[in-house]
Amino acid sequence: MINRNRVGASGFYLQSPFRWGYFRWTTFALSMCLVELGFIGAKYWKELDLFVALSLVLAAGSTLSFWFLALGIHRRVHSLLNTEQVEKLELGSNLDRVLSAAAIVTNQGLLFVSLATMGYLAALGEVLRTR
């Protein structure tokens, strides 16, 4: 598929997302977020009011749904590239630039959402701990 010597960020769509180091880190951050949510929920369950509990579930659910959305988009683009339903992917081409931008935004967005949720959970855990 790639006609030049090196692959840009668009290479994210040419292989499994789990072979891409940045995606593995975002998956790890998401996992840590869910573990942190589990610890806070288990330890402070009786102290959480309904609004806070629903907010925690919503935060975890939206973070997880964003990860699954990114995985689904990757699967569709990967399928298009592998079945050659789009032009050849060349480094520096318009397709390469568009896919590179999409890959960067997807991976950095996943990392940002996971780390932001983790930060909110850490702050909530600290507030609950000091009550």
Mean pLDDT score of the chain, rounded to an integer? 82
Nearest-5° angle of CA 32, CA 103, CA 33? 10
Contact 117, 63 (CB under 8 A): yes
Where does the pLDDT of residue 8 fall: very low under 50, low under 70, confident under 90, or very high at 90 and above? low
Per-domain residue ranges for the chain? 21-129
Q: What tens digit of pLDDT does each residue of 94-125 get?
A: 778 888 888 888 888 888 888 888 888 888 87
pLDDT at residue 73 is higher than 80: yes
- pTM for the full model? 0.75
Which has more confidence, 97 or 67? 67
The pLDDT value given to residue 3:
47
Nearest-5° angle of CA 62, CA 65, CA 68? 155
Nearest-5° angle of CA 31, CA 34, CA 35? 85
Question: For residue 79, what are the CA distances in angstroms to 14, 75, 120?
Answer: 9, 6, 36
**Which has the closest alpha carbon to 30: 102, 111, 103?**
111
Where does the pLDDT of residue 68 fall: very low under 50, low under 70, confident under 90, or very high at 90 and above? very high
Other beta carbons less than 10 A from residue 116's beta carbon:
13
Looking at residue 45, its amino acid is W
The pLDDT value given to residue 71:
92
The pLDDT value given to residue 5:
41
